A and B are shown apart, each in its own frame.
Chain A
Protein backbone atom coordinates (compact mmCIF):
# COMPACT_ATOMS: atom_id res chain seq x y z
CA UNK A 1 0.00 0.00 0.00
CA UNK A 2 1.32 3.39 -0.96
CA UNK A 3 2.20 5.52 2.05
CA UNK A 4 2.20 9.21 2.81
CA UNK A 5 4.53 11.21 5.04
CA UNK A 6 3.50 14.41 6.76
CA UNK A 7 5.02 16.60 9.48
CA UNK A 8 3.66 15.81 12.92
CA UNK A 9 2.54 19.36 13.63
CA UNK A 10 2.49 22.85 12.22
CA UNK A 11 1.58 26.22 13.60
CA UNK A 12 -0.01 29.18 11.92
CA UNK A 13 -1.30 32.60 12.80
CA UNK A 14 -4.92 33.40 12.26
CA UNK A 15 -5.72 35.07 8.93
CA UNK A 16 -2.44 33.88 7.38
CA UNK A 17 -2.04 31.23 4.66
CA UNK A 18 -0.99 27.72 5.65
CA UNK A 19 0.86 25.25 3.47
CA UNK A 20 0.59 21.65 4.64
CA UNK A 21 3.04 19.34 2.82
CA UNK A 22 2.70 15.66 2.05
CA UNK A 23 5.19 13.26 0.50
CA UNK A 24 3.98 10.22 -1.41
CA UNK A 25 6.99 8.98 -3.33
CA UNK A 26 5.47 5.53 -4.04
CA UNK A 27 2.29 6.88 -5.59
CA UNK A 28 1.01 4.92 -8.57
CA UNK A 29 -0.38 6.41 -11.74
CA UNK A 30 -3.99 5.74 -10.79
CA UNK A 31 -3.85 6.92 -7.18
CA UNK A 32 -5.87 10.00 -6.34
CA UNK A 33 -4.61 12.27 -3.58
CA UNK A 34 -7.28 13.01 -1.00
CA UNK A 35 -7.10 15.29 1.99
CA UNK A 36 -9.30 14.96 5.02
CA UNK A 37 -9.28 16.78 8.30
CA UNK A 38 -10.49 15.78 11.71
CA UNK A 39 -11.73 18.37 14.13
CA UNK A 40 -11.68 17.52 17.84
CA UNK A 41 -14.29 14.94 18.83
CA UNK A 42 -15.51 14.48 15.25
CA UNK A 43 -15.02 12.03 12.42
CA UNK A 44 -12.77 13.05 9.53
CA UNK A 45 -14.27 15.31 6.89
CA UNK A 46 -13.34 15.63 3.24
CA UNK A 47 -11.32 18.66 2.24
CA UNK A 48 -10.14 18.23 -1.34
CA UNK A 49 -8.77 15.71 -3.83
CA UNK A 50 -6.87 15.66 -7.10
CA UNK A 51 -4.99 13.48 -9.58
CA UNK A 52 -2.48 15.56 -11.49
CA UNK A 53 -3.64 19.13 -11.81
CA UNK A 54 -3.92 21.70 -9.05
CA UNK A 55 -7.41 21.93 -7.59
CA UNK A 56 -9.37 24.63 -5.81
CA UNK A 57 -12.57 24.52 -3.84
CA UNK A 58 -14.24 26.70 -1.25
CA UNK A 59 -12.24 25.18 1.58
CA UNK A 60 -8.72 24.96 0.19
CA UNK A 61 -6.37 24.52 -2.73
CA UNK A 62 -4.33 21.47 -3.60
CA UNK A 63 -1.01 21.85 -5.36
CA UNK A 64 0.38 18.64 -6.84
CA UNK A 65 4.01 18.33 -7.88
CA UNK A 66 4.69 17.56 -11.50
CA UNK A 67 6.12 14.11 -10.65
CA UNK A 68 3.17 13.58 -8.23
CA UNK A 69 5.51 12.50 -5.48
CA UNK A 70 4.40 15.30 -3.21
CA UNK A 71 1.47 17.63 -2.73
CA UNK A 72 0.59 20.65 -0.62
CA UNK A 73 -2.72 21.58 0.91
CA UNK A 74 -3.15 25.33 1.04
CA UNK A 75 -5.52 27.06 3.44
CA UNK A 76 -5.63 30.62 2.17
CA UNK A 77 -6.59 32.29 5.44
CA UNK A 78 -6.39 30.13 8.53
CA UNK A 79 -9.08 30.58 11.15
CA UNK A 80 -9.33 29.14 14.63
CA UNK A 81 -11.88 26.69 13.28
CA UNK A 82 -9.21 25.22 10.98
CA UNK A 83 -7.30 23.81 13.96
CA UNK A 84 -7.48 20.09 13.29
CA UNK A 85 -5.49 17.04 12.23
CA UNK A 86 -5.04 17.01 8.46
CA UNK A 87 -4.61 13.69 6.68
CA UNK A 88 -3.17 13.21 3.23
CA UNK A 89 -4.23 9.87 1.74
CA UNK A 90 -3.85 7.98 -1.50
CA UNK A 91 -6.90 6.26 -2.92
CA UNK A 92 -7.09 3.73 -5.72
CA UNK A 93 -10.16 1.90 -6.96
CA UNK A 94 -11.67 -0.42 -4.38
CA UNK A 95 -11.73 1.45 -1.14
CA UNK A 96 -8.96 0.70 1.30
CA UNK A 97 -7.85 4.16 2.26
CA UNK A 98 -4.63 4.14 4.24
CA UNK A 99 -4.33 7.06 6.60
CA UNK A 100 -0.98 8.23 7.89
CA UNK A 101 -0.42 9.95 11.19
CA UNK A 102 -1.50 13.31 9.81
CA UNK A 103 -0.41 16.85 10.66
CA UNK A 104 -1.86 18.56 13.69
CA UNK A 105 -2.41 22.20 12.79
CA UNK A 106 -2.37 24.76 15.58
CA UNK A 107 -3.80 28.20 14.80
CA UNK A 108 -2.84 31.12 16.99
CA UNK A 109 -5.16 34.06 17.48
Chain B
Protein backbone atom coordinates (compact mmCIF):
# COMPACT_ATOMS: atom_id res chain seq x y z
CA UNK B 1 0.00 0.00 0.00
CA UNK B 2 1.40 3.39 -0.99
CA UNK B 3 2.20 5.81 1.80
CA UNK B 4 1.15 9.41 2.23
CA UNK B 5 2.44 11.55 -0.61
CA UNK B 6 2.95 15.28 -0.63
CA UNK B 7 3.64 17.58 -3.51
CA UNK B 8 5.69 19.52 -4.17
CA UNK B 9 8.57 18.45 -1.93
CA UNK B 10 10.33 21.79 -2.09
CA UNK B 11 9.05 25.26 -2.85
CA UNK B 12 10.47 28.76 -2.90
CA UNK B 13 8.14 31.74 -2.81
CA UNK B 14 8.45 35.44 -2.10
CA UNK B 15 6.64 37.47 0.51
CA UNK B 16 3.09 38.35 -0.38
CA UNK B 17 2.58 35.42 -2.70
CA UNK B 18 0.27 32.54 -1.99
CA UNK B 19 0.98 28.82 -2.08
CA UNK B 20 -1.00 25.60 -2.34
CA UNK B 21 0.33 22.32 -1.02
CA UNK B 22 -1.17 18.94 -1.81
CA UNK B 23 -1.49 15.73 0.17
CA UNK B 24 -2.71 12.30 -0.94
CA UNK B 25 -3.54 10.07 2.02
CA UNK B 26 -3.13 6.33 2.24
CA UNK B 27 -5.89 4.57 0.32
CA UNK B 28 -8.91 4.09 2.57
CA UNK B 29 -7.89 6.78 5.04
CA UNK B 30 -10.47 9.51 5.41
CA UNK B 31 -8.88 11.79 8.00
CA UNK B 32 -6.12 14.17 6.96
CA UNK B 33 -4.23 16.44 9.34
CA UNK B 34 -1.74 19.18 8.57
CA UNK B 35 1.17 20.29 10.71
CA UNK B 36 3.77 23.04 10.49
CA UNK B 37 7.27 22.27 11.71
CA UNK B 38 9.84 24.99 12.41
CA UNK B 39 13.05 24.89 14.43
CA UNK B 40 11.68 27.41 16.91
CA UNK B 41 8.12 26.17 17.40
CA UNK B 42 8.45 22.48 16.67
CA UNK B 43 5.50 20.52 15.31
CA UNK B 44 2.31 22.53 15.44
CA UNK B 45 -1.14 21.31 14.49
CA UNK B 46 -2.82 23.33 11.73
CA UNK B 47 -6.11 21.57 11.00
CA UNK B 48 -7.78 18.22 10.41
CA UNK B 49 -10.28 17.21 7.77
CA UNK B 50 -12.69 14.32 7.52
CA UNK B 51 -15.27 13.78 4.79
CA UNK B 52 -14.51 17.16 3.28
CA UNK B 53 -15.20 18.94 6.59
CA UNK B 54 -12.75 20.67 8.86
CA UNK B 55 -13.22 19.13 12.30
CA UNK B 56 -10.33 20.61 14.24
CA UNK B 57 -8.23 23.71 13.89
CA UNK B 58 -5.06 24.90 15.56
CA UNK B 59 -4.06 28.44 16.49
CA UNK B 60 -3.04 29.80 13.14
CA UNK B 61 -4.21 32.97 11.37
CA UNK B 62 -6.87 32.89 8.70
CA UNK B 63 -4.19 33.08 6.00
CA UNK B 64 -3.85 29.35 6.51
CA UNK B 65 -6.72 27.38 5.03
CA UNK B 66 -7.36 23.95 3.70
CA UNK B 67 -9.84 21.72 2.03
CA UNK B 68 -10.48 18.09 1.40
CA UNK B 69 -11.90 16.50 -1.69
CA UNK B 70 -14.33 13.61 -2.01
CA UNK B 71 -11.43 11.21 -2.66
CA UNK B 72 -9.88 12.33 0.69
CA UNK B 73 -7.03 14.16 -0.99
CA UNK B 74 -6.35 17.44 0.74
CA UNK B 75 -4.82 20.78 -0.04
CA UNK B 76 -3.67 23.56 2.20
CA UNK B 77 -3.27 27.14 1.13
CA UNK B 78 -1.29 29.96 2.64
CA UNK B 79 -2.07 33.44 1.37
CA UNK B 80 0.02 36.57 1.68
CA UNK B 81 3.13 34.67 2.62
CA UNK B 82 5.40 35.99 5.36
CA UNK B 83 9.01 35.15 6.07
CA UNK B 84 7.90 33.30 9.20
CA UNK B 85 5.88 30.87 7.12
CA UNK B 86 9.10 29.20 6.02
CA UNK B 87 8.74 25.71 7.42
CA UNK B 88 8.27 22.03 6.75
CA UNK B 89 4.58 21.34 6.20
CA UNK B 90 3.58 17.82 7.07
CA UNK B 91 0.45 15.95 6.21
CA UNK B 92 -0.74 12.89 8.11
CA UNK B 93 -3.58 10.50 7.40
CA UNK B 94 -5.52 8.03 9.50
CA UNK B 95 -8.56 5.85 9.01
CA UNK B 96 -11.12 8.04 10.70
CA UNK B 97 -9.29 10.28 13.14
CA UNK B 98 -12.01 9.59 15.66
CA UNK B 99 -10.54 6.75 17.64
CA UNK B 100 -7.76 7.53 20.04
CA UNK B 101 -5.87 4.36 19.27
CA UNK B 102 -5.57 5.09 15.57
CA UNK B 103 -2.14 5.63 14.14
CA UNK B 104 -1.31 8.66 12.04
CA UNK B 105 0.86 8.10 8.99
CA UNK B 106 2.95 11.07 7.97
CA UNK B 107 4.13 12.11 4.55
CA UNK B 108 7.67 13.34 3.86
CA UNK B 109 6.57 16.96 3.99
CA UNK B 110 6.83 20.01 1.77
CA UNK B 111 9.67 22.33 2.61
CA UNK B 112 8.60 25.91 1.94
CA UNK B 113 11.08 28.75 1.84
CA UNK B 114 9.73 32.30 1.76
CA UNK B 115 12.17 34.97 0.59
Contacts and interface: CB of A to CB of B under 8 A. Distances in A.
B33 interface: yes
Contact of B103 (A43, A46, A51, A98): A46
A96 B43 CA distance: 12
Contacts of A42: 108
Interface string B45-72: 1001000000110100000000000000
Nearest to B3: A43
B107 to A, nearest CB: 5
A19 B99 CA distance: 28
Q: Give chain A's interface residue range (CB within 8 Å of chain B).
A: 20 to 34
Interface residues of B, number: 28
Contacts of A100: 42
A30 B100 contact: yes
B24 interface: no
Nearest to A101: B42
A94 B45 contact: no
A44 interface: yes
A14 interface: no
Given A44-B90, A87-B43, A95 B104 contact: yes
A14 B48 CA distance: 38
Interface string B79-115: 0000000000010101001111111111111000000
A86 to B, nearest CB: 12
B22 interface: no
B74 interface: no
A82 interface: no
A45 B42 CA distance: 16
Contact of B31 (A36, A44, A49, A95): A95
Interface of B: 4, 31, 33, 35, 42-45, 48, 55-56, 58, 90, 92, 94, 97-109
Interface of A: 30-32, 34, 36, 42-46, 49, 51, 87, 91-102
Given A44-B90, A44-B104, A94-B56, 8 more contacts: A34-B103, A36-B104, A43-B4, A43-B90, A43-B108, A45-B106, A95-B56, A102-B42
